[in-house]
Amino acid sequence: MRKSTPTKEKLLDSARNLFWTRGYSNVSVRQITKAAGVDVALVSRYFGSKQGLFEATLAEIPPWEALAADPQDLLGAAVESFSHPFDPEADQANAFTMLLANIIDPEMGDRIKDMVQQGLVAPLSKKIGGARAEERAAMLLAALFGMALMRKNFQVNALAGASKAEIEAQIRHLAAAALGFEG
């Protein structure tokens, strides 16, 4: 019997590529199915709806590496996980660009806010601990997201052309300042 699994995989791949870079509302199911070389109706069949397909791409996201790292090496782990957001192969890192691409979305904005608050800010501030933990967590994420934004979305020349070592030094500099905030 023919298997539906490869078709679902093709749909998921296309959906992830498009949803995560252009945002939910800016992508049509026909674009996705066309890119996947698959019929439009199969989205409803296998994922229920466009929303269901998007939700399926979210279900694949692994927890952020830095949250599992040694607390003393939090900075290193955070920087490391952001040194390859610029490697198009790195799915985990691209999850952050997914948040940037969908936070504005009229249908998914609230969903994204929850993911950031509960999946990033809350566990990160718990890991940081001590005084002003939540502020430091938010500032660290601000630094990381800001650098990702400049590089991937705004494609600023000075950063987009930099080597991994250079970009890592820059991110570490900003991130260290965020963690060192004392008010």
- The footprint of DNA (CB under 7 A) covers 1-4, 6-7, 27-31, 38-45, 49-51
User: Site for its own copies (CB under 8 A): how many residues?
Assistant: 49
CB 54 within 8 A of CB 37: no
Task: Pick one of DNA, its own copies, none as the site partner of residue 117 (Cβ within 5 to 8 A by kind).
Answer: its own copies
Task: Pick one of DNA, its own copies, none as the site partner of residue 87 (Cβ within 5 to 8 A by kind).
Answer: none
Tokens for 57?
């791409």
Residue recorded with tokens 């929303």? 51
**Distance in Å, CB of 148 to its own copies, minimum:** 8
Using the minimum distance from each CB to its own copies, give the nearer residue, 76 or 119. 119
- Is 105 near its own copies (CB under 8 A)? yes
CB 139 within 8 A of CB 146: no
Residue in 169, 168, 83, 77 with CA at minimum distance from that of residue 123: 77
DSSP H or E segment with residue 151: none
Pick one of 35, 46, 100, 111: the residue that binds its own copies (CB under 8 A). Answer: 100
Residue in 62, 43, 53, 46 with CA at minimum distance from that of residue 16: 53
* Residues near 23 by beta carbon (within 8 Å), at least 6 away in sequence: 101, 102, 104, 105, 108
Tell me which residues in 128-157 interact with its own copies (CB under 8 A): 134-135, 137-139, 141-147, 149-150, 153-157
Q: Coil, helix or strand for 180? A: coil
Which residues of the shown chain bind its own copies in the complex (CB under 8 A)?
A: 22-23, 25-26, 99-101, 103-106, 112-113, 116-117, 121, 125, 134-135, 137-139, 141-147, 149-150, 153-159, 162, 166, 169-170, 173-174, 176-178, 181, 183
